[in-house]
A = this chain, B = another copy of it.
Amino acid sequence: MPQVTIAQNILAPNETIATEIQQTLTTLHIRTLNIMSSPGSGKTTLLERSIERLRGKLNIGVIEGDIETSADAERIEAAGAQTVQINTQGACHLEAHMILDTLTKRDLPQIELLIIENIGNLVCPAAWKLGEDLRVVVMSVAEGDDKPAKYPQMFATAQVLVLNKLDLLPYVDYDIEKVKQQVFAINPNLRIFELSCRTGEGLDAWYQWLVGFARGEQ
């Protein structure tokens, strides 16, 4: 299929830029996460909560990827993090050159943790490295428990899975054990956090992990 061939041709230069970004950020002692998911899994809310909770403890910078609007960047900025918005104007994923462009606009040495919030899309972003140290995929329990098997590349290339909106479990057909079986078949080392940004359940373990990651413990 033509789009696959073209993607391979574009991916090689993307990986070169991603490696450069990762080396630069490592030299500056900045740890970087690439957060990905379907639209509406709750990535932005998870970032808002994390920034509010860790204010004064951890200096977080955010790159917000969106096709259109700056609504998410405004929410993140209000939560207290330095934020740069990237609008892809139709493109379905972030690419490393977009990240490199924004890094020149930031006061990098102040940041300890850089979080890149990718476009809401469970397919394309998985193929594009952005210079991150780790990848986090967020999944709402309202999305159904068959998604890892149907979108395996995203789960294969992530190191962390956040199962969000746990408060909706009583109202949806979602079998967490079935999801774990699928993800561990694809990626046996995936670390899973089960939480609800609405009720706060499970958030403490996530915050603790985030701080540890920023300090180089993971």
Q: A interface vs B, CB < 8 Å? A: 1-4, 6, 10, 38-40, 42, 66-69, 71-72, 88-92, 95, 119-124, 140, 142-144, 146-147, 149-153, 165, 167-168, 171-172
Contacts and interface: CB of A to CB of B under 8 A. Distances in A.
A38 B42 CA distance: 13
A90 B172 CA distance: 28
Number of identical monomers bound together in the oligomeric complex = 2
A72 B40 CA distance: 22
Q: Which 6 A-B pairs have the closest CB atoms?
A: A40-B143, A142-B142, A92-B123, A40-B144, A38-B39, A39-B122
B146 A71 contact: yes
A122 B1 CA distance: 21
Contacts of A153: 67, 90
A120 B146 CA distance: 12
Contacts of A4: 89-91
Contact of A10 (B2, B122, B168, B172): B2
